[in-house]
Amino acid sequence: MTIGIAVIGAGMAGRAHAAAYRIAPRLNRCTLPDLRFVSIGDISPELGSLAADRFGYERSDTSWQAIAENPDINVVSVAVANSLHREIVEGLVAAGKHVLCEKPLSDTLEDARAMADVARNASTVVCIGFTFRRAAGAAALRGLVNSGALGRILHANGRYWCDYARDPMGPMSWRYKGAPGSGALADIGSHAAYLMEFLCGDVLEVSGGRFATAITGRPVPLGAVVGHEQVEVSDTYEAVENEDYAGFSARFERCVGVVQVSRVAAGHPNGLALELFGDKGEAQWEQKRPGEFQLMLNESSAGTQGYRRVIIGPDHPYFAGGLPDAPGVRQKEGFVFQARAFLEEVVGIDEADSLPRNASFDEGVHNMEILAAVAESAANGGAAVTMAPQRAEVTR
């Protein structure tokens, strides 16, 4: 048995998926069949060809239809603009492919719900990538919550501060187009939202929604824009339609919390951070120091209490039998664990012997419903918005 793999999208996320499939078989003991790296698809022939050469894929294609029609391809990652997800995913599922889709699921709830209907009735594995669930530090914090080490969780903070949009001369791209809530909230707030639920339980209510757009216009690029890369720009400007900053409060199953995200936070290239405050202790983790987390347990006398640094290693999630037995972990390795879990499910390895499953499209819809509730709150002066229960049991 051989599994043929393709990735649609040769941008930042697509390259991460392409590399992850290469490394995934080397995690843990070898339980996967032979893998064949068939194609990288991108509308740009140059970008597709460069990615295929870089990651050792046999070819590149300029249409998703060519990948859907290729009988040598069984597994496909979709990592393109959110507005393109529905057509591509539905076409791939109809062609009998296993699909791993990037977050957020789509650019509209209507499309996301339609995609979830298709996934629910598919005969193949169809899932969404919530990559930061694979961060060893975030998983370690979750272990502290579930073990009761922190006691009753009182409140939590989640923030994702980035600076990829801080330069007013940064080129216009699809990321800056769309309704309120489709900017920083959808791009990085989707990560913060699912991670806060990962630690604190389902969101029951959001309030205090607020958006702000700091840079209201951007120059039109003279070439293709890949990820957050800079390219030469023209003298023509287009209006930025969505938010650079988003913030909201939430009531979770376990506690209350605050979430803030920004794409114009200078000095924070990838500033994801999580903080938990319990009645027995506190813990925090930041992506800028991913190989460690901070922990304080209320065991010392008042004069000696304080945070201590815990180095992530073989005793923590995703290290035992996987990563080399040495401290330190990076964001891209989350894509590797995600790809390995996807492939294990595709080949039918029992869940008890596999990495935790990837999230379902129903969970992807729920994540978008949180973002929609925040947008509704912001549009109504921060009013409280009650969340509906999750449709299906969650994988977290």
pLDDT tens-digit series, residues 287-302: 999 989 999 999 877 7
Say what the pLDDT of residue 1 is.
87
Q: Which residues are registered as beta bridge partners of 5?
A: 37, 75
Q: Which residue has the higher pLDDT, 389 or 205?
A: 205
Whole-number average pLDDT of the chain: 93
Average pLDDT over residues 275-298: 95
**pLDDT for residue 320:** 60
* Residue recorded with tokens 């909230």: 185
Is the per-residue pLDDT at 325 higher than 80? Answer: no
Rounded mean pLDDT, 333-343: 93
Amino acid at 150: L
Give tens-digit pLDDT for 138-167. 999 999 999 999 999 999 999 999 999 999
Cβ atoms within 10 A of the Cβ of 180, count? 18
Task: Please tell me the predicted confidence (pLDDT) of residue 28.
Answer: 76
Residues 268-297: b if buried by 16+ CB within 10 A, e if exposed: beebbbbbbbbeebbbbbbbeebebbbbbb
Q: What is the pLDDT of residue 31?
A: 86
Q: Which of 165, 164, 188, 187 is nearest to 240 (CA)?
A: 165
* E-assigned strand segments in 31-118: 34-41, 59-61, 75-78, 98-102
239 has pLDDT over 80:
yes
pLDDT tens-place string over residues 98-128: 999 999 999 999 999 999 999 999 999 999 9
**Range scoring the smallest mean pLDDT among 271-285, 300-314, 368-382:** 300-314
Beta-carbon contacts of 163 under 8 Å, excluding residues fewer than 6 positions away, are 263, 264, 265, 266, 267, 268, 269
341-360 pLDDT, tens per residue?
999 999 999 999 999 999 99
DSSP 26: G
What is the structure's pLDDT at 395?
Answer: 62
Mean of pLDDT values over 53-74: 98
Of 189, 194, 195, residue with least CA distance to 209: 189
The pLDDT value recorded for residue 220 is: 96
Please, are residues 4 and 38 in contact by the beta-carbon 8 Å criterion? yes
For residues 155 and 251, the answer to whether their CB atoms sit within 8 Å is no
Domains, the chain, ordered by start? 2-129 (3.40.50.720), 135-329+358-379 (3.30.360.10)
**Tens digits of residue pLDDT in 184-212:** 999 999 999 999 999 999 999 999 999 99
Work out the angle between the directed axes of helices 190-200 and 136-147 (0-180°, nearest 10).
30
Which of the two residues, 388 and 204, has the higher pLDDT score? 204
pLDDT at 330: 63
